[in-house]
Structure 1
Amino acid sequence: MRDTSAHDNPSATRTFVDDAPGIPFMTSHLPWNLEFDPAVAPTTTRVDLGEPWVVSCRVGRMSGRRRAPEIRNTQGEYAAVLMVHSGTEILTQQGRTTEVRAGTAALWDGVRPVECFSAASLVKSTMFIPRALLAGAVPDFDSVFVRTIENSATLRLLTGWLDVSMRQTALDRDAAHTAGRMAVDLLHSALARTRGDVSDSREVLLLQIKDFLDRNLGDPDLTLDMVARANAVSVRYLHMLFQGTGETAREFLRRRRLERAQRLLLGSGPELPVAEVAVRSGFDSPSSFSRAYRTRFGVAPREARRQSTAA
């Protein structure tokens, strides 16, 4: 297995390429019990994008299962979205079976038994996401598993975005988090369209607005009026776009600011003052930042840094 991370950049995200014969999936996927065509050595590439990670792979004929032993050996709880680029993979979980063809996708649950099968060669990507990142934003979470996500503009945006991200071998941590966050937002959009909640055009506009908010997190004077004007919509329509996402536009902005603050606070070491973390994250004062941080994470910023350093 080659580690293609940038050795001179310790803050870079890491890319792993498995090119040895055998079963490379144990270093890139969740634990599975897998059987492969012995004539075709599987290959995988993994890139970490903050909390999610994505794996692309090529395999021959394949069958596999995740049951109680594999689930027990998994650290953390994840959901995974399978995106097939060439070939077909069949997924079975909780009595449901779906055929994931080229250009389509499906979500499976990492905390429940699941089986997969491919009768011929297969090229695919799989993004693994902590379940908590999806459960709060996807209504009726259990209903979306093992349902075909049909080809759509948002699904093509997701696969294209992940393809671009996979080509970057030395993303710094902030860039990796941004790429992962955008990928999860695109997945939310693809799932929403599959459920019939929104149209592609509305979801693309919502993603545009979220991207605008992410790019302007550091502006403490940013208002929803400014956001609406910059994206050529009314404030009322801006609020409508966020309906069904699990949070309002204001809550989304606050959450993103706190996520950025936590990365700066815990990843920068003691040299970046807490007051500077507040400024860079768009809070108008250290005291308002401290209150918001304590409400979200249950501990004051300085204490969170102290605990992180001590660990």
Structure 2
Amino acid sequence: MAGADTTPAVSEQDDEELFEEIASSHLRWDLDLSGGTSPSADRWWLGDTWTVGCRIGPMRGRRRAPELRRNPGEYVGVLMVHHGTEIFSQQGTTATITPGTAALWDGVRPVDCATGGHLVKHTMFVPREALAREVPDLDAVFVRTLPASDTLQLLRGWLNVARGQAVLDPEAARTAERMAVDLLVAAIDRARDGSRGTQAVLRAQVKAFLDDHLDDPDLTLDTVARATAISLRYLHLLFEGTGETAREYLRHRRLERAHDILLRHGDLVSVAEVARRCGFDNPSSFSRAYRSRYGRSPREARHEAPVLL
């Protein structure tokens, strides 16, 4: 019959399997899926962050002590709705998330959610510590609706692009993760103050340029400012309140890349070659910086690298 609802109903025998599919892809929830619609979910990873695409019918859910005890770590959930409406309540605050909008919820505190109809959404799970570095007053952001914006649209688009990649190596995955977090921070800033949102987008562009030129030992912040069409003074301003300067960001990203190379390919490359690939002037300065950050020398880290057969 034309117009008939062809969505498969949830049978008793499938209920437990469907519940486990949803519960294991997200953080653990106590869910009531008695609405009669068969849910589906798929998950993909970007570094330490993962995203779940979900389609689900009417449902109610909650996270209490039994579910919180099963957390794999401390995460922030970022709910982005594409179709339908979901209501979240946490710590006495309620947010209604409609298509194009989003909201953050704290994965280490009790929370309730509900939807009265068919829902299509993405939920991104970001390590709490990583997001708190970018948003120092993180508690003030939870369960506050982020209005629809170009920045949120960019975030959704970026997650879909990352999802379409077959396999990302660890360095590429971490870069994609940083871009996603930067866009999320930009959306948060945009919701608070339009000018701050613009700054966050520009900061994301600067970080992307730095990440693309980590191997250039002659890279200067003047060069970065010119390449991103901003003044050097404004470049420094973009990093105020983030916990690190632009120069510190460049240094820690070079060390992160060097650390990844040493642990994955340390048996194939020399310390001098790693230093060169990561933009350090000489192996000695690289070794001092690496030891200061990781508590051991690059040579010692090479010995920890797995043997590639």
> Could you say which TM-score interval applies, normalised by the shorter chain?
0.7 to 0.9
Structure of greater Rg:
2
Q: Does 1:194 align with 2:187?
A: no
Match of 1:233 in 2: 230
Q: Does 1:135 align with 2:125?
A: no
Match of 2:8 in 1: none
Equivalence map 1:81-230=2 (5 Å): 81-196=78-193, 198-230=195-227
Alignment partners' CA distance in 1, 2:199 and 2:133: 21
**Residue in structure 2 matching 1:268, options 265, 269, 273:** 265
* 8 Å contact kept, 2:25–2:52: yes
Q: Does 1:71 align with 2:75?
A: no
RMSD: 2.0
Alignment partners' CA distance in 2, 1:266 and 1:96: 44
How many residues are treated as equivalent by the alignment?
Answer: 291
| Residue type of the alignment partner of 1:140 | D
| Residue type of the alignment partner of 1:292 | A
Deviates most, 217-226 or 258-267: 258-267
Alignment partners' CA distance in 2, 1:99 and 1:38: 20
Alignment partners' CA distance in 1, 2:262 and 2:98: 43
Alignment partners' CA distance in 2, 1:157 and 1:52: 17
Aligned to 1:41, the other structure's residue is in SS state: coil
Shift of 1:26: 3.0
Alignment partners' CA distance in 2, 1:90 and 1:273: 54
Gaps of 5+ in 1: 1-19
Aligned to 1:221, the other structure's residue is in SS state: coil
* 8 Å contact kept, 1:152–1:200: no
Q: Deviations for 1:255-301, whole angstroms, at most 9, x for unmatched residues?
A: 22122222222223522333322222222222222222222233333
**Residue in structure 1 matching 2:51, options 41, 54, 58:** 54
Shift of 1:195: 2.6
* 8 Å contact kept, 1:59–1:121: yes
Shift of 1:155: 1.2
Q: Deviations for 1:122-168, whole angstroms, at most 9, x for unmatched residues?
A: 10101111111111121212111111111112111111111111222
Aligned to 1:23, the other structure's residue is in SS state: helix
Match of 1:254 in 2: 251
Deviates most, 164-173 or 296-305: 296-305
| Residue type of the alignment partner of 2:178 | R
Shift of 1:86: 0.8
Alignment partners' CA distance in 2, 1:59 and 1:197: 33
Aligned to 1:81, the other structure's residue is in SS state: strand
Relative contact order, higher structure (CA 8 A, sep 6+): 1
Percent identity of the aligned residues?
A: 58
Match of 1:24 in 2: 21
Gaps of 5+ in 2: 1-16
Match of 1:10 in 2: none
Match of 1:279 in 2: 276
* 8 Å contact kept, 2:46–2:176: yes
Aligned to 1:26, the other structure's residue is in SS state: helix
* 8 Å contact kept, 2:54–2:121: yes
Aligned to 2:268, the other structure's residue is in SS state: coil
Deviates most, 239-248 or 178-187: 239-248
Deviates most, 185-194 or 121-130: 185-194
Alignment partners' CA distance in 1, 2:77 and 2:301: 30
Match of 1:14 in 2: none
